[in-house]
Each structure stands twice: as structure tokens, then as C-alpha cells.
């Protein structure tokens, strides 16, 4: 296939699979337990632009300098252009073939996550974390195709365009013309607990500590800064608790039983006051952090989910803001 690759049969290639996708493929190659899935590679994005004749229009919009006041207008114009045209049938057919094969492996009664993976994303130079969109609990093939295009559109979201402008001010300019987007489709993990693990304490840059943020339900509330999570600091040299702060965790995100989306629920009072991780789960996360930092040979920012006491790393990226304490 030209446009789609299965994650367990691919080799890391940021230009083809984006940074997030390549890091995920690395994890799979090292035997780390990740959700099954496939990736719509950047060939599909390029072909979409070519066959729809959007290249010239897009180039015209993004080739000139812009200010923060221009961002909403630029983002809206690009979104409208993308929505007017269809994804080429050859790409849709390959996505459908991969979808059918994946459903045969994991069963029909499942849903999917659809995640953006830009070619500049999750490198040591650029994080781009949280700028493009990801979608959870997608239930049908038709919806998957819709959200693949939405991921492409999010490459030029207002927050992404603002990010590029901020990079330019730091003399770290990114050429918008060279931006490309892959899209990761995986089995959805319906987590009871989820969060983020930093293999270095990012609060004080202490390399001998790990920092964990966790909450009940799906992890999108943490990554979108919509909840005050639990915070746990671990001694990295040995498994030892240094500090625990129980967060308010007032809301939790769960799969919508009636459609391709998630919904917010009030957290039960007894769960607000309870740590969202037990000791065994903390130990699993500690070992995961050590393993992934060894694999990538660099401190990692890891999104994870726990379903029925099984830990799944969802993505791992380098921490780009470190000034380590020796």
C-alpha cells in the first residue's frame, strides 16, 4: 500500500510517519505494549493536496508573513479549502482495507483513536505537542475518514499558527510550506486511569526524579489542561515515593456511548479524594519510564492509559524544555 502502513510492520521515518508515529513505531519494535493500529502516512496528505489542486492555493496563503491578528482568518480560509474537496478514492480504499484487517484482529465492538502526527512533531528541536488535533472514541469507518481530514486541517489550526509565529520570534523558524501530516489510527483504550509521565521532574529539572500526573477516565483532560490531576514524584534511582499531591479531579472524560466522541462527567466525590493510582500501577509506570528513556536515550514525556490494570503507553516524546541539574 502507498498511503497506509500497519504500525507493527513499519520502520521509524519522521518524514513519512511524523514524529509521533515514528516514536510509536520505535516502541513497538522494542516490544513495548502499545494499542494495535495503522498509520495514514504523509504520502496521503501530499496526494490529497495534489489531486485537489490545493497546493497553489495553500502556498499563496502561507507564503507571506502574518501577525497574531491574521491567524484566525488564515486558519479559517485553509479549513474551508480542505472541507470543499474529497479525499482521493485510492486513499480511502487503503484506509478501509486497513480498517477491515484491524477489526478482524481486535473485534467489531471496539472504537478507535485518531491522532495527528506532523513531520516536525516530537523531535528534540520541536515539540509541537498539543497544537494539532487528536480524536477519541471514533466508532465507524466513515467517521475515521472524516477525522483523518480534520487532523490534516489542524496542521493550520489557530494554536498551530501561533506556535509557528512564536518559533519564528525565537529564530527557530519553521517553513509552513514543508509541513506534512500523518494520522495514527489505533484501538481505543477505554482507560479507568490515565495521565502523563515525565522521566525527569520538569518542575525543578531534577534528573533523578520522575513526575507523574494522573486522573480518572481518559487522559485528554490532562493534556488539554482541563483538570487538576494527582501529582506523584518518584525517586528515579530506586522506586520510592517522594511526594504525593491529590488533585481535585472534578471532571472525568469517558467514551460517549451514543456516538463518536467523549463526554464529561462529574467525578464521584469519593474518587476526587482518592489517589488515582495504586502502588502496583506506580511501579509499572516507574519501570516504563526507565525503559523508554533507555530506548530513546533521552528524557521522555509519556502519555499513558490503564485499562483493566494493563498499562499502555500511547505516545512518547522528548522533553524539549530541560536544563538538567547535575
- Burial profile 125-144: b = 16 or more Cβ within 10 angstroms, e = fewer: ebbbbebbbbbbbbbeeebb
Give every strand in the sheet of 4-6, ordered side by side.
4-6, 37-40, 181-187, 112-118, 134-138
**Number of other CB atoms surrounding residue 6 within 10 Å:** 17
Which letter does DSSP use for residue 181 in this model? E
What is the rounded CA–CA span in Å between residue 115 and residue 74? Answer: 23
Q: Is 49 helix (H, G, I), strand (E, B) or coil?
A: helix
Residue 105 has what pLDDT? 94
**Number of other CB atoms surrounding residue 162 within 10 Å:** 14
Residue 21 has what pLDDT? 95
pLDDT tens sequence for the chain (326 residues):
899 999 999 999 999 999 999 999 999 999 999 999 999 999 999 999 999 999 889 888 887 788 889 999 999 999 999 999 999 999 999 999 999 999 999 998 899 999 999 987 645 555 555 567 899 999 999 999 999 999 999 999 998 888 888 877 776 666 777 889 999 999 999 999 999 999 999 999 999 999 999 999 999 999 889 999 999 999 999 999 999 999 999 999 999 999 999 999 999 999 999 999 999 999 999 999 999 999 999 999 999 999 999 999 999 999 977 765 54
What is the rounded CA–CA span in Å between residue 127 and residue 20? Answer: 10
What is the rounded CA–CA span in Å between residue 203 and residue 28? Answer: 30
Q: Is 198 helix (H, G, I), strand (E, B) or coil?
A: strand
- Distance between the two ends of the chain, CA-based, in angstroms? 48
What is the rounded CA–CA span in Å between residue 280 and residue 316? Answer: 21
103, 185 contact by CB (below 8 A): no
Write out the DSSP string of 240-265: EEEEEE-----EEEEE-TTSSSEEEE
- Burial profile 172-184: b = 16 or more Cβ within 10 angstroms, e = fewer: eebebeebbbbbb
- Burial profile 36-60: b = 16 or more Cβ within 10 angstroms, e = fewer: ebbbbbbbbbebbbebbebeeebee
41, 3 contact by CB (below 8 A): yes
Backbone conformation region of residue 221, classed left if phi is above 0, alpha if psi is from -120 to 50, else beta: alpha
Backbone conformation region of residue 266, classed left if phi is above 0, alpha if psi is from -120 to 50, else beta: beta
Structural domains present in the chain: 4-187 (3.30.1490.20), 193-318 (3.30.470.20)
What is the rounded CA–CA span in Å between residue 39 and residue 107? Answer: 19
Task: Cell numbers for 211, please give them.
Answer: 513526575
Residue 125 has what pLDDT? 52
Amino acid at each position: 500500500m502507498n498511503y497506509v502502513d500497519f504500525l507493527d510492520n513499519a520502520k521509524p521515518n519522521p518524514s513519512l510517519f511524523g514524529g509521533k508515529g515514528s516514536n510509536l513505531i520505535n516502541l513497538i519494535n522494542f516490544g513495548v505494549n502499545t494499542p494495535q493500529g495503522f498509520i495514514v502516512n504523509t504520502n496521503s496528505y501530499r496526494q490529497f493536496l495534489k489531486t485537489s489542486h490545493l497546493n497553489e492555493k495553500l502556498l499563496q496563503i502561507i507564503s507571506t508573513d502574518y501577525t497574531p491578528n491574521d491567524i484566525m482568518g488564515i486558519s479559517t480560509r485553509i479549513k474551508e479549502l480542505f472541507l470543499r474537496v474529497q479525499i482521493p478514492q485510492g486513499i480511502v480504499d487503503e484506509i478501509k482495507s486497513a480498517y477491515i484487517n484491524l477489526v478482524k484482529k481486535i473485534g467489531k465492538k471496539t472504537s478507535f483513536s485518531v491522532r495527528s502526527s506532523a513531520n516536525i512533531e516530537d523531535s528534540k528541536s520541536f515539540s509541537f505537542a498539543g497544537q494539532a488535533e487528536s480524536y477519541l472514541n471514533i466508532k465507524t469507518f466513515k467517521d475515521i475518514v472524516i477525522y483523518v481530514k480534520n487532523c490534516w486541517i489542524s496542521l493550520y489550526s489557530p494554536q498551530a499558527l501561533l506556535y509557528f509565529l512564536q518559533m519564528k520570534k525565537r529564530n527557530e523558524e519553521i517553513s509552513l510550506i514543508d509541513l506534512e501530516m500523518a494520522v495514527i489510527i489505533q484501538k481505543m483504550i477505554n482507560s479507568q486511569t490515565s495521565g502523563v509521565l515525565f522521566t525527569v521532574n520538569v518542575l525543578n529539572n531534577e534528573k533523578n526524579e520522575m513526575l507523574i500526573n494522573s486522573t480518572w477516565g481518559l487522559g485528554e483532560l490532562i493534556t488539554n489542561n482541563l483538570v487538576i490531576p494527582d501529582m506523584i514524584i518518584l525517586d528515579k534511582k530506586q522506586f520510592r515515593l517522594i511526594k504525593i499531591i491529590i488533585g481535585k479531579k472534578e471532571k472525568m472524560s469517558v467514551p460517549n456511548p451514543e456516538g463518536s466522541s467523549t463526554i464529561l462527567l462529574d467525578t464521584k466525590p469519593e474518587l476526587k479524594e482518592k489517589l488515582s493510582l495504586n502502588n502496583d500501577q506506580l511501579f509499572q509506570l516507574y519501570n516504563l519510564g526507565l525503559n523508554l528513556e533507555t530506548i530513546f536515550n533521552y528524557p521522555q514525556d509519556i502519555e499513558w492509559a490503564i485499562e483493566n490494570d494493563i498499562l499502555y503507553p500511547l505516545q512518547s516524546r522528548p522533553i524539549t524544555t530541560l536544563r538538567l541539574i547535575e
